[in-house]
Structure 1
Amino acid sequence: MKRAQWLQQLAQAATPNLEECIEYLGSTCEWLYEFKHTPQDAEWHAEGNVHIHTQMVLDELYQLLKTQARHITGERRQALILGAVLHDIAKPVQTKPMLLQGKERIGAPQHETVGRSYLAPRIMEWELPFNVLWQVLHLVGEHHMPKHLALKESQVAAYWRLARQVDLELLYWLEVADMRGRICPDLEWQLMCLDEFRNQAQCFACWGDNPLPKHIATRMNNLSPKAQRYVYAYSLAALEQGELRMVEEVISKTYAHREHYAHLVMTVGLSGSGKSTWLERHYPDYEVISLDELREQFNGKRNSQKHSGQIIQAAKAQLKAALREKRGVVWDATNLRAELRAQILDLGRDYHALITLAVFLLPLKVLDKQNNQREYGVAQSVLERQIEQFQLPNLTEAHQYQVIGENGVLLYESGNWSTL
């Protein structure tokens, strides 16, 4: 059976065991092969290694899909099963001894976010609609959040923020299976936390479509189209971060900037993903700050890393000038790491700009081919290092978020007023 057919069966009644899942998915996600060799803490996971745990999670999930969650069908069922298979995908590289309250334990810190970033460029090769892949990525990346929100007694803003990234009902069922698929002394308490998460998500109307975007939209009918775009983006950010409580507060606070503002576009993508071509098509009149071009000016060639400090300072000076003059400007680079993106995005916020992230996700085989065809293609070793460094941005890093795929096709968009 080909992988495409196997994946399609997940939308129906298929209940493959973990060995079968690895047979079809391991060629793109090689960390799956390490599950049997990855230990877990004897108290938190008395059942044994990651492979044993993941099989138990699948068994519990299939039981839920026959009973309490039998209404989860089609593409949502596909995403949920794949999320269960992959939820601990990064444990093989993140697992290490830890000292917790004076006691040595085994943990895997940040395996959720590392796993999401690892998967993002790899599962693009799978024969699935992008909305399914997107759910899988965020089921993996957010699977510890339900318990976290319940323990912190988080308010509505945290639930709104999470609901824009992932289907909270799917996340709940994944975590019920995750908890039941282990042997630990506090299982009942863990399940109670998940029930609290579910109750709060339903109370905040996040069990299904996130109500926040439409809630904001109804408050802005009297604004100009340009102001609507700006106020909607800033309202979404402010309300999701819990900085303001009402849309009217954001409308008032953005009065000085909403009709005349800079627009900062940042690209995020591996070499060969088509960033420059896409920018020429969609932002032909924007000023483009290209770190590659500045390297060529300073060093005589694009791949030289000399004078990096001077180059960044020159680029930031150029960016500040564009933001100060409230123009459209693009920060064109790979921008693979979150901490480096934050420096530029925070600068845009300092100038009250509207900020858009254009994230390029293509199958690795396509990236490799396009990189080899480029006039300024990078060495294979450089591309492999980029893949290792890639950190998939969170939606909250910018006001607007776009995912661009092969041939410049828009796969996903969030935070844009015009798409409501």
Structure 2
Amino acid sequence: MNRKSWLQSLAEDATPAIDECIEQLGETFPLLDQFKLTEQDPQWHAEGDVHIHTGMVLDELYQLLENEANHIQGAHRQALVLGALLHDIAKPLTTRRKEVRGVERVVATRHEAMGRSYIAHRLLNLELSMTVVDLVMGLVGEHHMPKLLVIKQMERGEYWKLARKASMELLYWLEVADMRGRICEDLNQQIDLLEQFKMFSEEYGVWATHQPLEHLRQEIKPHIKDLRADVQDMIFARTMRDFEEGDISTVEEGIARTYSLRDGFSEVYVLYGPSGSGKSSWIKQFDAECEVISLDELRKEINGDRANQSNISQILTVARERLKAHLRAKKKIIWDATNLREDFRQRICRIAFDYHAFVTLVVFHKSERQLFADNKSRPYSVPENVLQDQLDHLEWPVPEEAHRYWVVDNSGKVIKQSGGFND
């Protein structure tokens, strides 16, 4: 069976064992071949290595899909199977031994977030819809959160925040399979935490939807319906963020916080994308009124060559000062850089937040294959080893990093919007 047909079978009734999955997808995700070499902590995973565990998770998931979860079909079934296969994909990168309270343990810190980053551009090499890609990334990147939200007794806002990144129901079923697909002493306690997660998700209105804020949109609509579209987006996004952070408890509080901004505010667009992802082309067609702060152009201005990486501190200082000047003038600004690291993005977002700007994170999502092809045809291409290093070390952005979150596809079209009233 060719790969396209095999992937389609996952949306129907296929139940491939882990070795068959690796045979089909090992070339796309080479870390799958390292599962057998990746140990796990025996207290939580007495069954053995990551290969054994993932195989057990798949088997448990197929049982669920035949019984309690048999309503999950089509694209959601396909995403759930792929999510189960890939949920621990970054453990080969993150697993190490660490002494905890005098006992040597096996840990894999942040393997969830690193897993999402690892698969982000590689998933697009496959014959999958963007809906499925989005769902799989959510499952891999957030599969640790259901139990954590319950253990930490998190409030409504954290459930809203999670529901913008992942399907709560699919997360639940993945984690039921994840728990059953291991040997540990506290299995019943772990399953109970998941049942509480389901109960709270239903209570907060995010169980059956991947767009959890529609009720907030309807509640705020009468208050802002006569305002300009950009002002509507700003008020809604800031109110949503305040709710998620637990800073407000009513829509009226959120609206009151925006009155001083209605006569004028800056807009900042922080771009994310590896070299060759289409950022420059998008800028040209987006908004001619935007002030563009390009680190490439600053390197050319200061170093005489946009490829010269020296004087980075001076370049960043100049860039930030220009950003602050534009913010004081309440202009529209594009921060044009790869911004592959979260801390780089957050430094810019924090400055913008301090000036009460409306911040949009613009995420350019191309396949790994397309990135290499397009890089070759760029006027200013980077060496292939540099692009590969970018893909190996990028940190995929998530919605809560900014007020608003856009995903741009291979053609430069915004295909996903989160956070704005008019999205």
TM (norm. structure 2) is 0.97
> C-alpha distance in 2, partners of 1:197/1:222?
33
| 1:329 maps to amino acid | I
Which residue in 1 is equivalent to 2:311? 307
1:216–1:247: 8 Å Cα contact kept in structure 2?
Answer: no
Amino acid across the alignment from 1:214: H
SS in 2 for 1:321: helix
- Provide the rounded CA distance (Å) in 1 between the counterparts of 2:263 and 2:35: 54
Match of 1:200, SS?
helix
Letter in 2 for 1:122: R
Between stretches 259-268 and 402-411, larger displacement belongs to 402-411
Question: d(CA) in 1 for partners of 2:181 and 2:409?
Answer: 35
The question of whether the paired residues in 2 share the 8 Å contact of 1:159 and 1:201 is answered with: yes
Q: Is the 8 A contact 1:31 1:90 kept in 2?
A: yes
The residue type paired with residue 380 of structure 1 is E
> Aligned residue pairs: how many?
419
Distance 2:136 2:115 in 1: 11
- Counterpart for residue 153 of structure 1: 153
Deviations 1:133-187 (A, max 9, x none): 0110110010010110111121111111111111100000000000000000111
Deviation of the 1:228 alpha carbon: 1.2
SS in 1 for 2:260: coil
SS at match of 2:270: strand
Does the Cα contact within 8 Å between 1:345 and 1:355 map onto a contact in 2?
yes
Q: Say whether 1:51 aligns with 2:51.
A: yes
TM-score (ref. length: structure 1): 0.98
Determine the structure 2 residue equivalent to 1:118: 118
280, 289, 303: which is aligned to 1:285?
Answer: 289
CA distance in 2, matches of 1:318, 1:48: 54
Larger mean CA deviation between 147-156 and 60-69 belongs to: 147-156
Runs of 4+ in 1 over 3 A off after TM superposition: none
**What pairs up with 1:407-418 in 2 under 5 angstroms?**
407-418=411-422
Q: Matched residues in 2 for 1:317 and 1:324: separation? A: 11
Spell out, residue by residue over 1:371-414, the C-alpha distance to the aligned partner (whole angstroms, 9 max, x if none): 11111111112111111221100110011111112121322111
- Which range is displaced more, 143-152 or 400-409? 400-409
Deviation of 1:211 (Å): 4.1
Once structures 1 and 2 are overlaid, which stretch shifts more, 202-211 or 350-359?
202-211
Given residue 186 of structure 2, which amino acid in structure 1 is its aligned partner? D
Q: Which residue of 2 aligns with 1:241?
A: 245
Q: Structure 2: which 5+ runs fail to align?
A: none
1:374 aligns with 2:378: yes
SS in structure 1 opposite 2:262? Answer: coil
Aligned to 1:384: 388
Shift of 1:129: 0.8
User: Within 1, Cα distance between the matches of 2:212 and 2:14?
Assistant: 33
- 1:216 Cα offset (Å): 3.5
Q: Is the 8 A contact 2:296 2:307 kept in 1?
A: yes
CA distance in 2: counterparts of 1:222 and 1:248, whole angstroms: 9
Q: How many angstroms apart in 2 are the aligned matches of 1:258 and 1:238? A: 17
Q: What is the aligned partner in structure 2 of residue 350 from structure 1?
A: 354
**C-alpha distance in 2, partners of 1:147/1:156?**
15
**After alignment, is 253-262 or 89-98 more displaced?**
253-262
Cα offset, 1:213, TM superposition: 3.5
Show CA shifts across 1:254-298 (max 9, x none): 110133110000110000111010111112220100000000011
Bigger CA drift: 405-414 or 270-279? 405-414
SS across alignment from 1:370? helix
**Which residue does 1:170 correspond to in 2?**
170
Identity of aligned residues (%): 46
Selected match of 1:396 from 394, 400, 410: 400
Which runs of structure 2 are paired with 1:106-145 in the superposition (5 Å)?
106-145=106-145
SS of residue matched to 1:68: coil
Which residue pairs with 1:72 in the alignment? Answer: 72
Q: Which residue of 1 aligns with 2:5?
A: 5
Contact 2:290–2:331 (8 Å) recurs in 1: yes
* 1:220 alignment partner in structure 2: 221
Counterpart code for 1:124:
L
For residues 84 and 179 of structure 1, the distance between their equivalents in structure 2, rounded to whole angstroms, comes to 12
Determine the structure 2 residue equivalent to 1:206. 206
Could you tell me which amino acid in structure 1 is paired with residue 323 of structure 2? L
Q: Give distance in 1, aligned partners of 2:198 and 2:2.
A: 37
